[in-house]
Amino acid sequence: MMRISTSGTRRRWMLGTAVCGVLITGCSSGGGDGGDAKPKAKPAAEAKPLDEGALRPLLLTQADLGSGYVQVQEEPGGEKFDDISVQGCPALEKLSQSGEEDMFAAKAQASFTYDRDATLGEEVHSDRPSVLSSKLRELFGAYTSCPTYTMTSGTTPIEVKVSKSVTPELGDEQFAYTSTMELPSGAQVLKTMVVRKGNVAVMLVGAPALVDRHIKTAVGKLPAGS
**Is 212's pLDDT higher than 70?**
yes
Q: What is the mean pLDDT of the chain?
A: 78
Tens of pLDDT, residue by residue over 30-46, are 333 444 445 455 556 88
Which of the listed ranges 3-7, 13-17, 88-92 does the model predict with the highest average pLDDT? 88-92
| Domains of the chain by start residue, with CATH | 1-18+83-226 (3.40.1000.70)
Tens of pLDDT, residue by residue over 119-163, are 999 999 999 999 999 999 988 888 888 899 998 877 888 999 999
In angstroms, the CA 221 to CA 161 distance is: 32
- Look up the pTM and report it: 0.78
- Mean of the pLDDT values across residues 100-106? 76
In angstroms, the CA 119 to CA 109 distance is: 14
Tens of pLDDT, residue by residue over 172-203, are 999 999 999 998 888 999 999 999 999 999 99
In angstroms, the CA 190 to CA 5 distance is: 12
In angstroms, the CA 148 to CA 140 distance is: 14
Tens of pLDDT, residue by residue over 34-82, are 444 454 555 568 899 999 999 999 999 999 999 999 999 865 544 444 5
Q: End-to-end distance of the chain based on CA atoms, in angstroms?
A: 36
